């Protein structure tokens, strides 16, 4: 008799884990959210340039040999400033 009750407990657990969440799933809303916006060709080029420019500056200046302040001033700081200006200029207007 214990074998039958153990099988019934297993069936109950499996149904509780697999079937119950599907039955209690909330109905989807009509407006699921904002769709992803595709990046334009100019934005993609700007992103790639933002990655490649500091790499090129790193290879030229070699900050591990000493001039790390020069690297910071000519490598990542201009990229950060350019994206900050872009972010400010493209802000939605009220």
CB neighbour class for 7 (10 Å; exposed up to 12, middle 13-18, buried from 19) = exposed
Residue closest to 40 by CA, chosen among 51, 48, 31: 48
DSSP at 91: S
Q: Enter the pTM of the model.
A: 0.56
* Mean pLDDT within 18-37: 71
Condensed to tens digits (0 to 9), the pLDDT of residues 57-81 reads: 999 988 888 888 888 899 899 999 9
Orientation of helix 41-61 relative to helix 76-89, angle to 10°: 160
Each domain of the chain, given as residue ranges in start order, spans 38-94
In the prediction, which pLDDT does 65 show? 87
Integer CA distances (angstroms), 11 to 2, 6, 16, in order: 14, 9, 8
Backbone dihedral region for residue 33 (phi beyond 0: left; psi -120 to 50: alpha; all else: beta):
left
Judged against a pLDDT cut of 80, whether residue 29 lies above it is answered with no
In the prediction, which pLDDT does 54 show? 92
Give yes or no for a contact between 64 and 75, defined as CB atoms under 8 angstroms apart: no
């Amino acid at each position: 008799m214990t074998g039958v009750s153990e099988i019934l407990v297993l069936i109950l657990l499996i149904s509780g884990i697999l079937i119950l969440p599907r039955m209690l799933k909330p109905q989807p809303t009509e407006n699921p959210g904002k769709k992803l916006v595709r990046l334009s060709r100019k934005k993609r080029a700007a992103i790639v340039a933002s990655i490649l420019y500091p790499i090129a500056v790193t290879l030229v200046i070699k900050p591990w040999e000493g001039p790390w302040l020069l690297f910071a001033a000519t490598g990542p700081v201009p990229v950060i400033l350019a994206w900050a200006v872009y972010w400010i200029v493209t802000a939605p207007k009220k």
